[in-house]
Structure 1
């Protein structure tokens, strides 16, 4: 079925073409969320305003077109996919208002959960929900799924911390519960709807059996079905409506803003890992801990601990635990250290009667805490990483009454064995009786689907019928539990949910088959294939955690989408389907506009670097081996050519003027498909070649200065107020600190190989890297002297491949913090400084150190939020300037009060200067300006 012509025609009038997608590549890319379902939308629209949502819903209502809303697409139960129209949040949904010193915060649905907490951190507050996906998921999804997490429990979820909500209903009507005028208008226009909600509430509360059941169900963690507790918790129809929207998964309306009552974020915390001999003892301990001052108690069965026991940093004893062992990871938090210590003593005293096999005592050390929590957080990805290619990872999410947790765990393990899910692991939020179980599942043949179906029948009977528990505790009902809502709730409650659905969405256009479905087999349909594509990415579970840090997110494809499309291309090829058109689109969207910096790997639960796949694909197209070899062998000549080009560009600027040159070069760059670089006022002038005369009989300590090729070629821009080159500034700073600066021989011929590697010429890249390392070994006298590299991407490439462990290589951040702090006196400046942490600085683990150095240098340091990678990516800023522009589209506003920005990569600084509207320089410029030699 295609969309009605009238709908398409009107949507074209409402939404610009660049925000409408109906091509096969885009619809497939957006047809994927973190679940094991796939539906391909017929039309994807990126919406940028509430007005657009209103107009589109009114249109959808008139034409009976189903609509699904999507924020981050990290949902695990198929809530954010459709085969009709998908409305995706664009850039303009990131508004926030912090109120009452952080006691409340109003947020738009596009805000990432972790960002909301970053805004609240200065006030010692946070939002209540704490899902594991908080670094990627967005407020719209958190509220729509009533997400919780490790510390949230039931008391601090969105439902219980809701202070206000703004929604657009299925008919396009807006309601803001915090705006008296909006409420008054809604009461006038929708009085009958409100009266029906009030009536349903009264009837539900007077039905004592049903009301008791609802209260019991929500004593547990529960996101199965619609939020019926709204009918028993409130009598005001507006309150009922507001709370019905929480957990409705986009089936009752669009949430365009939410106000939270925030919760304390206590600064003092400690964690312990207690291993018990068996499940019964472990679960009995949970019952005791329920009354103790704990903030989180995570259960890990023996299988889950086995899945991570060989990971670096794991306690050695984890390998030696008995077969029936079961562990609790316990965290306590407090406003003061003294109070924390009181709590820890109380907790340990309560556990004294229980037999313990092994334990890691409570620790307040942040690194030890992180190591303990890694055991819990790595379990899910550990299963994903070892699964058979072609299978998917399924994570289910149930609740048992906590007093029956032990038998519930035992019975679940018996079901794993019965259905031969030998790799299945079990862990969860023990205080709430909330268990996650993770297993791998193929859907390639009917037999595998039948096995999954039989397993789900058994699980639902066990949890919902035998134990009266929840089939979905915190991941939302979605599609995979929609057929079992009546089984869990019973006929009366189920029919009540349908009445609410039909009242608020009479034509059934909002996210059909999610939460409520008339199809008892919906959970077995539209199952997502995960075909083999490339060993680099085959372990991808399509969770979307990578997306927030990707510079091309919102421009072309994200890492998740790159993998989705490449999988589809490979599967189609194996099936003999022509992929020419798909590959043509993928070349630009997937390959050309990938920065390939690998930040995605830092967020990926299974450590996938999608940039490595892109580099591999580029290497297949690298057909100019002879040219690459010539450039590698004649690198000095190549640098001279680059300097000549910059000289020529500067001459053209002087002759034509900057505005005219920028216009001409933009046209040339576009006409040449990026082969002619685009000139901008931030374009550097040519740097002079290094000329050094060593000082005879110099007794100062030596440092080998490796000036990257970009530093040796690119000087300051003509418009830059700072006209001293990075070379001279760095050498001056090092000498100020008392160092003798030496350079490797034949420096203009040296290169780390990064320019070759990024283009897919790996052989030439490796040869240049090895040549450079040999020169550095000689210059440093076999590693006696430290080696300072002035550009962090080059440092990273050398460090990643460093086989000669004698060499001591430093990027600017690490060298300054380890070698210069004790030799210089810092007098911080008053002027605000913007800091850009490059991708390579993040990979080197120096992000926080760079920020702390900046704070030594300036009393006002600005770190623009939401910019993880500048998108310049070596030369992409010249050849694909739209990637750089897109990545830095919010920079100018963020740094408007700064006079200068700092970074550690010359090429990044070109793009940052252009799009930030301020000059960006290397870190050494700032450090040199605010320091004097320390008097001994």
Structure 2
């Protein structure tokens, strides 16, 4: 059924066209969250203000149009999708206000959880909830799902740490519990609603059996159904309303802002791994540990340990554990090291009598405890990585009473075996009796759906009825558990939930069929297909963890959405459906605007680099192999042509003036159908290359300087305060440090191959890479001398799969760290410096190294929040400038107090300078400015 014409007409007047999406590509892309359900919305709206949400809800309420709110879409139970109107958060929901020296923080719903913790870190505070998705999940979703995590438990979740809420109800009314005027106005306009909430509270508290049941249920970790504990914990109706919103999954209202009471973030921590010979001993230790100063106790069964035992970096003892082994990963945190050591002694003493098969003692060494936590964190992706193509990974989330945890674990394992989920693993937050079990499931066959239905029915009976536990501990009820809410809670509590729903959403427009549903089979409908698309991305579980670091997020597609669309295209082709229109749209949204820098792989639980798929698809379309061959064979001529083009542009700038040339260039780009690159005032001038003759005999240490092709062609912009080309500045710095600088022979013919690889010509790229490696072997005297590459993307291209172990190739950060710090004296400058850590620097593992070097050079370092990739991506900044502009849309405001920016990629610095409003330079400029040679 289509949306009402009156609603659509009103929406068109309210929301600009660029924030309304109803085309097949966009609606399909937004129809996916991290769950195993899919609904295709009829309309997607990106909202940028509370006023827009208010008007939309008034329209939806009047026209009885269903709406669903979506933050990051990392939810696992189908609560962030819709077949009606999907409302997604835009850029302007990122406000945060730190109060009382970090004791409280007020956040808008678009703030990513990890960002909230980053701004609280200087106060040694953090928000209570700590979901595994905290690097991607947004506050709106964290509150609406009452997300918790490994350390949060039941004491520090959103419900328990809520200090205030600003919300929009289904009729568009707004109430802010921290604003007395707003509260007074709401009491005036919605007195009847508040009176009904107060009465529901009184009735519930007076019903001792029901009240006791609610208190018992929330003694456990529990997110099944609505937060009925609000009715027994509070008697003021506004407090009840606020706490009902926590965990309501967008079915009762829109959370516009939340204030948290923060919790301590202790600086000292240590972790240990204790492996018990069996489940029983492992679980018997948990109640004792619960009485100790532990911040986390994670249970891992033998299956979960087996799933990671062959992974790179895993200790060999994991493979040698017995078949029945069960482990506890324990963490303790404290304000001081001495207190931490006291706590560790108490913890170990409490379980000293238990038999232990293997023990890794408490360690404060990051290398040790990070490896232990890697065992825990790699279990879920390990199952995802081995699943059959076409199946999905399901992670279920239940709670057993802690005193019956061992029995619960064994019974769950029996169920998994009986239903032949042989690959399934079990792990969880043991202190709360909260277990996650992960298994793979196909939905393309009725027999598989029937198997899933039977299994979930038995799980529900086991957990909710037999053990009196919770079917959802922290992942939210969603669609997945909506049919089982009454089974878990009983009819009386279930009908109470429906009363709350009808009171706050009388027309049923807010996220229907989520949390509560009249359809007993809603959990078996709209199951998401995961068809084979390409081996590069077939393991994608569509979790969305990749999205925050993608520069095209909010412009076109994210990595998750690129995979969703490509899967759909391939499935349609196999079904004989015409995909011409979809593929045409995908060309721009999926391929042209992908930076292909691979940051998504760093966030992906199964290590997928969506850029690899994009490069592969570009290679299929690359129809100029002959031209690529010619360029590879005549690279010096191509580089000379680049310098001549830059020189011609600079001459035009001198004749016409920069503003006139920029306007002319923009007009020519429009006339060319966006094919011609656009000139801007930060465009480089050409480099006039003057290389030294053959190196002389000297006692100085040698360094081979590989100047990247961009460094050999692109000098500073005409208005840049620095007018010395990078190649000359680098050489001067290396010589200042006492090095003899050697250049490879025939430098202008050399290239790492990156320009060819990014355009879809892998053979030519590899040819150039091999040529360069051979030249470097010769220049470095067979690897005797270190090799300095002045641009991090080229360094990364060289060191990836580098077979010649004789060569030591350094990017600027690593070479300065390891070779120049001891040879130079630093005098830090007072002026603040902005730092952009390029994608390649992150891949090289030098992100912190770059920040550390800059901190030696200046008293104030500014790292703009939320900018992970600049989106320039080689030449994308010239040819698809909107990608660069979108990725850096928040840069200027973030760096306005800085006089200079620092990076390690010449092309990235072009876009950064343009959109930051300050000049960005290579790291060597700053290091050279603040150093002098040390007397050795």
Q: Which TM-score band applies after superposition, normalised by the shorter structure?
A: over 0.9
**2: CA distance between counterparts of 1:708 and 1:695?**
20
Alignment partner of 1:175 is 2:157: no
Q: Secondary structure, in 3 states, of the residue corresponding to 1:497?
A: helix
Which residue is equivalent to 2:637? 637
Which residue is equivalent to 1:407? 407
Cα drift, residue 675 of structure 1: 2.9
Give runs of aligned pairs for residues 376-525 of structure 1, distance below 5 A: 376-525=376-525
Q: Secondary structure, in 3 states, of the residue corresponding to 2:88?
A: strand
Q: Secondary structure, in 3 states, of the residue corresponding to 1:822?
A: helix
**2: CA distance between counterparts of 1:662 and 1:614?**
31
Cα drift, residue 442 of structure 1: 0.1
Cα drift, residue 696 of structure 1: 3.0
The unaligned stretches of length 5 or more in structure 1 are none
CA contact (8 A) 1:690 1:712 kept: no
CA contact (8 A) 2:546 2:600 kept: yes
Alignment partner of 1:135 is 2:128: no
Q: Secondary structure, in 3 states, of the residue corresponding to 2:159?
A: helix
Which residue is equivalent to 1:757? 757
Instruction: Give the TM-score normalised by structure 2.
Output: 1.00
Which residue is equivalent to 1:683? 683
Give runs of aligned pairs for residues 874-889 of structure 1, distance below 5 A: 874-889=874-889
Q: Secondary structure, in 3 states, of the residue corresponding to 1:219?
A: coil
**2: CA distance between counterparts of 1:332 and 1:165?**
32
Cα drift, residue 695 of structure 1: 5.1
Q: What whole-Å deviation, never above 9, does each CA across 1:347-381 have from its counterpart, x for those lacking one?
A: 11111110000011111001211110010100000
**2: CA distance between counterparts of 1:696 and 1:780?**
14
**2: CA distance between counterparts of 1:524 and 1:489?**
21
**2: CA distance between counterparts of 1:493 and 1:480?**
19
**2: CA distance between counterparts of 1:170 and 1:903?**
48
Which residue is equivalent to 1:161? 161
Q: Secondary structure, in 3 states, of the residue corresponding to 2:68?
A: strand
Which residue is equivalent to 1:287? 287
Cα drift, residue 672 of structure 1: 2.6
**1: CA distance between counterparts of 2:225 and 2:691?**
73
CA contact (8 A) 1:308 1:379 kept: yes
Q: Secondary structure, in 3 states, of the residue corresponding to 2:455?
A: helix
Cα drift, residue 734 of structure 1: 0.2
Q: What whole-Å deviation, never above 9, does each CA across 1:574-623 have from its counterpart, x for those lacking one?
A: 00000000000000000000000000000000000000000000000111
Give runs of aligned pairs for residues 90-489 of structure 1, distance below 5 A: 90-489=90-489
| 1:673–1:699 CA distance, 2 compared to 1 (3 A) | farther
Give runs of aligned pairs for residues 519-918 of structure 1, distance below 5 A: 519-694=519-694, 696-918=696-918
CA contact (8 A) 2:201 2:235 kept: yes
**1: CA distance between counterparts of 2:66 and 2:256?**
19
CA contact (8 A) 1:832 1:898 kept: yes
CA contact (8 A) 2:128 2:262 kept: yes
CA contact (8 A) 1:394 1:441 kept: yes
**2: CA distance between counterparts of 1:98 and 1:119?**
8
**2: CA distance between counterparts of 1:309 and 1:75?**
28
Q: What whole-Å deviation, never above 9, does each CA across 1:92-144 have from its counterpart, x for those lacking one?
A: 00000000110000000000000000000000000000000000000000000
| 1:814–1:673 CA distance, 2 compared to 1 (3 A) | farther
Which residue is equivalent to 1:921? 921
The unaligned stretches of length 5 or more in structure 2 are none
Q: Secondary structure, in 3 states, of the residue corresponding to 1:821?
A: helix
**1: CA distance between counterparts of 2:591 and 2:690?**
36
Segment of structure 1 superposing worse, 32-41 or 658-667: 658-667
| 1:518–1:635 CA distance, 2 compared to 1 (3 A) | same
Cα drift, residue 298 of structure 1: 0.2
Cα drift, residue 671 of structure 1: 3.1
Q: Secondary structure, in 3 states, of the residue corresponding to 2:327?
A: strand
Q: Secondary structure, in 3 states, of the residue corresponding to 2:218?
A: helix
CA contact (8 A) 1:708 1:794 kept: yes
Give runs of aligned pairs for residues 70-89 of structure 1, distance below 5 A: 70-89=70-89
Cα drift, residue 674 of structure 1: 3.8
Q: Secondary structure, in 3 states, of the residue corresponding to 1:807?
A: coil
Cα drift, residue 693 of structure 1: 2.4
**2: CA distance between counterparts of 1:706 and 1:773?**
11
CA contact (8 A) 1:689 1:748 kept: no
CA contact (8 A) 1:20 1:44 kept: yes
Q: What whole-Å deviation, never above 9, does each CA across 1:194-248 have from its counterpart, x for those lacking one?
A: 0000000000000000000000000000000000000000000000000000000
**1: CA distance between counterparts of 2:669 and 2:684?**
18
Q: What whole-Å deviation, never above 9, does each CA across 1:491-539 have from its counterpart, x for those lacking one?
A: 0100000000000000000000000000000000000000000000000
Q: Secondary structure, in 3 states, of the residue corresponding to 2:822?
A: coil
Which residue is equivalent to 2:40? 40
Cα drift, residue 147 of structure 1: 0.1
CA contact (8 A) 2:71 2:88 kept: yes
Q: Secondary structure, in 3 states, of the residue corresponding to 1:199?
A: helix
CA contact (8 A) 1:681 1:717 kept: yes
Q: What whole-Å deviation, never above 9, does each CA across 1:368-427 have from its counterpart, x for those lacking one?
A: 111100101000000000000000000000000000000000000000011110011000
CA contact (8 A) 1:674 1:878 kept: no
**1: CA distance between counterparts of 2:143 and 2:132?**
15
**1: CA distance between counterparts of 2:566 and 2:696?**
59
**2: CA distance between counterparts of 1:379 and 1:813?**
34
Q: Secondary structure, in 3 states, of the residue corresponding to 1:271?
A: strand
**2: CA distance between counterparts of 1:673 and 1:527?**
41
CA contact (8 A) 2:34 2:76 kept: yes
Q: Secondary structure, in 3 states, of the residue corresponding to 1:275?
A: strand
Cα drift, residue 692 of structure 1: 1.1
CA contact (8 A) 1:39 1:526 kept: yes
CA contact (8 A) 1:706 1:787 kept: yes
Cα drift, residue 438 of structure 1: 0.2
Runs of 4+ in structure 1 deviating by more than 4 angstroms, as ranges, are: none
Q: What whole-Å deviation, never above 9, does each CA across 1:17-63 have from its counterpart, x for those lacking one?
A: 00000000000000000000000000000000000000000000011
CA contact (8 A) 1:532 1:538 kept: yes
Cα drift, residue 690 of structure 1: 3.5
**1: CA distance between counterparts of 2:3 and 2:675?**
40
Segment of structure 1 superposing worse, 670-679 or 625-634: 670-679
CA contact (8 A) 2:695 2:742 kept: no
